[in-house]
Structure 1
């Protein structure tokens, strides 16, 4: 046989898109998790789905142009978004965006001129923990929990190195209730972690206490650093709320690490220190306190894009494995709790059946394509 010693193996690339409440971000990322180019655009007051999809597409195209990578070498696109992702690509339950059953996967595929099998949509907190598993604080860890503390609060969970999404993909740890009859939350409930510890909640709490309007969370932190006792009290309350959330996650999941990400968490080690202190005060006496496993995210400023790209890479790899190995089962990078149950694990069901479920959502999207979706 002949061995091509000088054969060049071409690197494949991914696009990671990160949709936030105020900005859209896009990056071109190689298979090793290195960011080649990055683009960000403000959303402004645009919350119409079509406008946001267009902005995301611009971020993708500009990042590809800046990277110098050919579109033929892009193997997949991942999109991290607020809200629950159901039916293989619909976004619903996003209180901050007001979306309900938006067919984001197929809209992004159309906007970029790609086959929809190359596009993967996932919750933004799930994207964040994908990034931490890949290149961050959870790399080489068996299990992890993550809280994203931004405009809202998201939660990502990983067990056995795989991201868990729940039976109906509606795991929302940011909406665990930490205060009975507490603050009103955008989800419609009261007392959620998000209503007490998000950037929005911190700014709102300070405004209610002082009557000073139009201040941002960052400005509240600045005032606290300058000796404003009211701002310090607001931040202490938020840190205590986060600590309760972390302790709940630790006692429920017993993870290797609990990761804090997002704008609130990155205000410095001072906030992390407060969270750890309050978590330690909540310790039980029958078992050791594990407050020291609470850490800051380490995947960097491109966490959302990295995680979305990683999820796309894993999904495409899984699909290729299923296609190449036919009936041989492959372990997915994301799974739901229902897969733990024997009734869902028994038998030799065809693994390719899971990939055929896109047909129904696609038909739904095609029927809605000419409608104004919100």
Structure 2
């Protein structure tokens, strides 16, 4: 076993870690800007956790770290560059000490037993007081000459604020927790407002809250797109104390270029990631040099069976009537080989058999057909991917979320189909004689035109926008879906 230590700007965390990454005991202390004080507190925590079975100590350090040499090159919010951290702690404890950037440690843990398990190529951003970064290729941390992976210093605004690294407009200056506080202050809100309150205000239609969240999330999206263009990863993870919130905020800042897209998911291990990864790297360093060692393979965790295949996923082909959903969904299904479930395909046989339905009965059948779709999805084998064709705005959002949960759908990608209202009206008018009794008739056309002005996508995950007045770029759509869902 090993002791893993995570040095943060607010807290120092330490834990005794098993060879499979299980936390056996944990403690924490307050952090401090004084490096000597931090070193003393770390030594005290090691003393509390140490046992004869502990073989090594690993420490995740904010800032630039040369893991091969065991030195801190420059600090973050806790600057330990002036302290021979590894050497002094080895002298104090008699145990070998491995140090690395704290985000590298967190990614090590997520690969071993978190959100990146089973993936080979991963990019990770940690969103907290600042923004850290880490990259793994072939399950190995990419370090370059020494300090590769400083993703918080991807420039997103060359005329932006000065970063502590000396450049302007690094994503850390726009999308960290510190930056979020600045966005809130500039909008005239008090420092007491929380990220959850911002999301609640945004959901209620508060334009100020939406502006703050967009100012925070959109530069992060640009940085993610840049990292994807550079590394072409299987997966992008968002960790740190604000990783989950950042993932949620990105729903309003979708990737704009299909070339630069990869699944973006929140990390799973939370504050435990740093200590778990530090412990695992310390154990790996006992047998091989840290820069050459692959990340630990996912262990068989106590009380947990890792599924052989992923849970169900769905492509939500969304749009109001006459928006071109059917053409898009059929094209995706044919090219990808994924089964298609369309609301009208399920509903129309009932309209044919029952006949004489009015609009209210049509709506009732629509709700029942919607439920039937997700019941069918829920009965499918784990790992299935479905194409679901519907206007998802016809019922409250929570209805969809409940269906997805019951069906075991853990990931969705949305194709948003749209066209100007006058185009939709003409399409609907020309198809009136093809619609079964029970569907709205010509009287619905003015309502459809108005709906086109206010209809919006769900934005619950990755989003691909399709203007159906233009030629449909199925190759681009399917390439995006392969990147987003099929990896």
TM-score, length of structure 2 as denominator length: 0.56
CA distance in 1 between partners of 2:40 and 2:80 (Å): 16
Query: What root-mean-square deviation, in Å, do the aligned CA atoms of Structure 1 and Structure 2 show?
Result: 2.3
Structure number with greater Rg is 2
Please tell me whether the aligned partners of residues 174 and 194 of structure 1 are also in contact (alpha carbons under 8 angstroms): yes
1:290 is matched with 261
Give CA-to-partner distance per residue, 1:121-145, whole Å, 9 cap, x none.
0001111111111111211211100
Query: Residue 32 of structure 1: CA displacement?
Result: 1.0
Structure 2 unmatched ranges of 5 or more? 296-487
Aligned pair count?
A: 291
Which structure exhibits the higher relative contact order, with contacts defined as CA atoms closer than 8 Å and separated by 6 or more residues? 1
Matches within 5 A, 1:208-227: 208-210=186-188, 212=190, 215=191, 219-226=194-201
Deviation sequence 1:78-101 (CA, Å, 0-9, x none): 000101112622212214224434
Matched, 1:254 2:201: no
Q: Given the alignment of the two structures, is residue 198 of structure 1 paired with residue 176 of structure 2, yes or no?
A: yes
1:333 Cα deviation from its structure 2 partner: 3.4
1:15–1:27 CA contact under 8 A, matched in 2: yes
Contact 1:221 1:231 in 2 (8 A): no
**TM-score, reference length from structure 1:** 0.72
CA distance in 1, matches of 2:128, 2:272: 14
Matched residue of 1:39: which SS? Answer: strand
Counterpart in the other structure of 1:159: 137
Aligned to 1:74: 54
Aligned partners of 1:85, 1:202: CA distance in 2, in Å?
Answer: 26
* Structure 1 CA distance for aligned equivalents of residues 287 and 213 of structure 2: 43
Which secondary structure state, in structure 1, belongs to the residue aligned with residue 125 of structure 2?
strand
Distance 2:269 2:101 in 1: 17
Check the 8 A contact 2:63/2:79 in 1, yes or no. no
Distance in 2 between residues matched to 1:294 and 1:276, nearest whole Å: 10
Q: Partners of 2:45 and 2:212 in 1: how far apart?
A: 36
CA distance in 1, matches of 2:104, 2:41: 22
1:181 Cα offset (Å): 1.3
Name the CA distance, whole Å, in 2 between partners of 1:290 and 1:81. Answer: 30
Residue aligning to 1:315: 285
1:174 aligns with 2:152: yes
- SS of the aligned residue for 2:6 comes to strand
SS of 2:15's equivalent? strand
1:19 and 1:100 map into 2 onto residues whose CA distance is 13
Q: Matches of 2:41 and 2:209 in 1, distance apart?
A: 35
Q: Which residue of 2 is the match for residue 279 of structure 1?
A: 254
Q: Where does structure 1 lack aligned partners over 5 or more consecutive residues?
A: 1-12, 65-69, 321-329, 335-374
1:332 corresponds in structure 2 to: 293
Query: Which secondary structure does the structure 1 equivalent of 2:141 belong to?
Result: strand
Alignment of 1:1-374 (within 5 A): 13-43=1-31, 46-62=32-48, 64=49, 71-86=51-66, 88-111=69-92, 113-115=93-95, 118-210=96-188, 212=190, 215=191, 219-226=194-201, 229-267=207-245, 271-280=246-255, 282-284=256-258, 287=259, 290-291=261-262, 293-318=263-288, 331-333=292-294
Q: Deviations over 1:46-83 (max 9, x none)?
A: 32211101112233333x2xxxxx62100111000101
